[in-house]
Structure 1
Amino acid sequence: MDIVGFIWKISYMAHMITNSAFFGSSVLMLLACEYTCESKVLSIYKKFSSIFLIVSFLSGIGLLSILSMGGMDDLTTNNVGISILFMVGGFSILVFIFIFLLLYKGDSLKTKKILIQVMVLIYFLVYLSRVYLVH
């Protein structure tokens, strides 16, 4: 097995596992926000979600590097490239909103729930557009 293929598989696995872990933990926080948004669970969620987003970002950069080495220089000419642009844009917005959640020190349960709802909605829309464009 060549090294680029091995790096691709490892990066893709890390990317998908951390993406699903972040999405799943965000949905869980959203569904049980009355119990989890006011306790220690929120601080644990913030720590683990930060790790998930960092690993997802680094593995995504690795995947983009391998794609650019493979000849996909212009991302606007095909559906996979356009879906990657959607993912990069959605991830940027998601990180921006997640930073708001990290910096928010208030006690308003409604504000925390809205931030988590927006993150889940962005994640869902990005992956829905990816499925539509790629398949």
Structure 2
Amino acid sequence: MIHVVSNAGFFGMALVFMIGDEEILKENIVKRYLKIAFIFVLLTGTTGILLLSILTMTGMDDLTSNPMGQSALVMILGYVVVLFIISLALIYKGGEARVYKKLFGIMFFSYLVVYLIRVYLTT
């Protein structure tokens, strides 16, 4: 449940800042929420590792051999992309709203693509 809540929190936060106006995209506001988003991403990662370990206990030797394993690999790839982009956003010192919009847009759409691929693979 923590995994789903932290995923939803981050996904919603990325959407808000991706479509936000200039007032919400001030550097001090964005930096504060980036720290909260980073906590959500870390919670998602740690609980995702726990869920993946539970998934592999049933005997999944090769993650590329079935759709569940492939969706797990896609989730790991999406998580790495989001972790990289959020790290870039945390160290960015420029404070330009359009850069933050693009960074949050990349994070939002990477999560969206991951979940669309997961739905495709697991149905």
Asked if Structure 1 and Structure 2 have the same fold, meaning a TM-score greater than 0.5 normalized by the shorter chain, the answer is yes
Higher relative contact order (CA 8 A, sep 6+): 2
Return the letter of the residue paired with 2:25: C
1:132 corresponds to 2:81: no
d(CA) in 1 for partners of 2:32, 2:54: 33
More helix by share: 1
Which residue of structure 2 aligns with residue 16 of structure 1?
4
d(CA) in 1 for partners of 2:14, 2:81: 15
1:94 corresponds to 2:94: no
Q: Is the radius of gyration larger for structure 1 or structure 2?
A: 1
1:51 corresponds to 2:39: yes
Gaps of 5+ in 1: 1-12
Among the aligned pairs, what percent are the same residue?
39
d(CA) in 1 for partners of 2:12, 2:96: 23
> TM-score of the superposition, structure 2-length normalised?
0.94
Q: CA RMSD in A?
A: 1.2
Tell me the alpha carbon deviations over residues 29-55 of structure 1, each in whole angstroms, 9 at most, x when there is no partner. Answer: 112142211153212211211110111
Q: After TM superposition, which residue ranges in structure 1, 4 or more long, deviate above 4 angstroms?
A: none
- Aligned residues between the structures: 123
Shift of 1:73: 2.3
Please say if residues 18 and 104 of structure 2, whose CA atoms lie closer than 8 Å, have aligned partners that are also in contact.
Answer: yes
Please say if residues 63 and 70 of structure 2, whose CA atoms lie closer than 8 Å, have aligned partners that are also in contact.
Answer: yes
Please say if residues 22 and 97 of structure 2, whose CA atoms lie closer than 8 Å, have aligned partners that are also in contact.
Answer: yes
Gaps of 5+ in 2: none
Which residue of structure 2 aligns with residue 9 of structure 1?
none
Match of 1:66 among 54, 59, 73: 54
